[in-house]
Copies of this chain bind each other. A is one copy, B any other.
Amino acid sequence: MNLEEKVVAHDAIYDGAIINVERQTVELPNGKKAYREIVHHSGAVAVMAITDENKMILVRQWRSPIGRSTLEIPAGKLDQRDDADPKHAAIRELNEEIRLHPNHLERLAGFYSSVGFSDEYMTLYLATDLQPVQSELPRDQGENLTIKAYSVDELRTMVDNGEIEDAKTVMAVWRFEMMALKK
């Protein structure tokens, strides 16, 4: 089946610091016109950081879109320096957010966070064999957070009771449960 939509017009709506928004006019396979609203984003990394005690590290931070704080695995946006390899961004975010360096870092998966309206692509890593960083990178302005490590049983409960309600973190918890089952 031909699924392709041809873009016949782009209208720029907003050129922001983190996102750009555009409205496309597309021609559907049946020849009809439709509109598509698209949020462009530079991409991001997220990291399942597992301690030697087999706990996963979460950070609590304020999230403006929902007006409250959330518990999430460490994550951050890519910047120009990361073009070659998002691994660098993963190492930088672990330093900035939890002040640890991973002696082992492994790519688990890459995915679009919300492909219905956005091109944000996230790469998820597993980080183990963690040690304190030798030099601390500065945190972003307003990057206030608290840090704690949780067992797989605690994490499962926190997904079930809604204490964890961030997509990449739910995903990481299920992967962590899978790792525990395979042992």
Could you list which residues of chain A lie within 8 angstroms of chain B, going by C-beta atoms? 1-5, 7, 13-14, 16-19, 21, 23-24, 26, 28-29, 32, 34-41, 44, 60-67, 69-70, 72, 75, 77, 109-122, 141-142, 144-146, 159-160, 162, 164-171, 174-175, 177-178, 181-182
Which chain B residue lies CB-closest to A13? B14
* A3 and B66 alpha carbons, distance in the complex (Å): 13
**Shortest 9 CB-CB contacts between residues of A and residues of B:** A36-B64, A113-B114, A181-B181, A65-B119, A3-B62, A111-B167, A171-B171, A28-B142, A174-B174
Copies in the complex: 2
* A116 and B26 alpha carbons, distance in the complex (Å): 28
Contact B117 A3 (CB under 8 A): no
User: Which of these, B13, B119, B122, B170, contacts A21 with CB under 8 Å?
Assistant: B13
Contact A65 B32 (CB under 8 A): no
* Least CB distance, A73 to chain B, in whole angstroms: 12
Contacts A64-B5, A177-B178; A165 near B13 (Cβ below 8 A): no
* A28 and B16 alpha carbons, distance in the complex (Å): 20
Contact B26 A38 (CB under 8 A): no
Given contacts A28-B144, A32-B142, A36-B65, 7 further A-B contacts (CB under 8 A): A3-B144, A5-B62, A17-B37, A65-B118, A66-B119, A178-B178, A181-B181
